[in-house]
Amino acid sequence: MLSSDTDLVAVADDELFRYGQRVKDKVILIVGASKDIGRETAIRFAFYGAKVVIGDQDASKAQDIAHKIVAAGGVAMGTWCNATVWDDVVTVFDLAVKTYGGLDIIVANTGVPEVGKFKQVNFDSNGKPVKPDLTTIDVDLAGILYAVHLAQYYLARNRQPDDLKALVVLGSMASWHGLPQAPLYSASGCAILGAIRSLYLDFEHKDIRTAVISPSYGVSDSDGFLSPAEASTKGLELSPIIRIAGSIFYSATNPAKKANGRAWLIRHDGPLYMVPREDLDRGVFRAYNKRFNGLIATLNAVKGFSRGPGAYFS
């Protein structure tokens, strides 16, 4: 719940690649990058000198993007990765480290629209309810969390002072409110936002940046059948893909401490917005938020002090 638009900090489009020099020779892994947002993100990071690893279930498209980057003078490789299969995700992380010596930025970009009809209960031949199709949860939630879990280890390995280390995950507007006809898609978006809000302090104390990007609905290069989630937003203005890729880039590279651990909102009618942390200040949430922020401040101080006076007073 956002208290008002005045709480949002706008970032102009011409600022999105301001810190491009920070990614030169860095290794970035994008899980889910064969089209749209992931493809554009790979190209942009490569343009600024990053070594890009693209893992996607469509291995041929991932390799094609990598070949185009290499042909343009960049460094990249594309490979198979089913984000819902744990061993596949571990393999692509290990491949990035083996090929380029480490990992600096991870973008978890896996996602599908609403799959199946969760609101419709079906029955088998014996009249028993049939298990619902949870493909959307498997991809949009479990697939993202696999990458988040591994990021805790791989980004912290052999880390040097002042290294750029970042984890960026893709949510959607459904991270903030339910989308009609898409309960599983909405549940995944809310869960991803909640997970990163829960984990950002742990990542921050390892000097790893985190961010959740929530673009407007419906970004797609598909001309085929619209899913219920896409159909419910048909006719709306959509976020330009270049702005979404730029938002991923900006949230990963901005060195400001106040910009870390944030949710970033991209509305169809405006630029990238940085959302205040835990902005729950209306009605029944006010008392809860006051206690919660007090607890977080205490935990943060204790963790900071454990690292030394310099961290505590910074």
What b/e string do you get for 173-194 counting C-beta neighbours within 10 Å, with b at 16 or more? bbbbeebebbbbbbbbbbbbbe
Q: Residue 192 in 3-state DSSP?
A: helix
Q: Are both 300 and 208 inside the same structural domain?
A: no
Q: Are both 303 and 204 inside the same structural domain?
A: no
Q: In Å, how far are 65, 133, 137, 172 from 220, measured between CA atoms?
A: 17, 22, 19, 13
What's the total number of domains in the chain?
2
User: How high does pLDDT run on average in the chain?
Assistant: 84
pLDDT digits (tens, 9 = 90+) for 265-305: 997 777 899 987 655 455 444 554 555 455 556 655 655 54
Q: Are both 192 and 161 inside the same structural domain?
A: yes
pTM, rounded to two decimals:
0.83
Q: Show the tokens assigned to 191.
A: 């869960």
Q: Are both 215 and 301 inside the same structural domain?
A: no
Q: Are both 215 and 294 inside the same structural domain?
A: no
Residues 6+ apart with CB under 8 A from 25: 49, 50, 51
Side chain identity at residue 155, one-letter code: L
Predicted confidence band at 313 (pLDDT cuts at 50, 70, 90)? very low
Domain encompassing residue 292: 286-314
Q: Are both 158 and 258 inside the same structural domain?
A: yes
Q: Are both 157 and 240 inside the same structural domain?
A: yes
Euclidean distance between CA atoms 147 and 74, whole angstroms: 25
Stretch (H or E) spanning 62: helix 59-71
Stretch (H or E) spanning 31: strand 27-31
* pLDDT score, position 284: 46
Q: Are both 272 and 295 inside the same structural domain?
A: no
Q: Residue 275 in 3-state DSSP?
A: strand
Q: Are both 155 and 261 inside the same structural domain?
A: yes
Inform me whether the pLDDT recorded for 128 exceeds 60: yes
Predicted confidence band at 232 (pLDDT cuts at 50, 70, 90)? very low
Please answer whether residues 280 and 1 qualify as being in contact, where contact means their C-beta atoms are separated by less than 8 angstroms: yes
Q: Are both 109 and 220 inside the same structural domain?
A: yes
Q: Nearest CA to 69 among 107, 41, 104, 111?
A: 41
Side chain identity at residue 180, one-letter code: P
Q: Are both 125 and 11 inside the same structural domain?
A: yes
Q: Are both 80 and 156 inside the same structural domain?
A: yes
Q: What is the CATH classification number for the domain harbouring 130?
A: 3.40.50.720
Please answer whether residues 218 and 268 qualify as being in contact, where contact means their C-beta atoms are separated by less than 8 angstroms: no
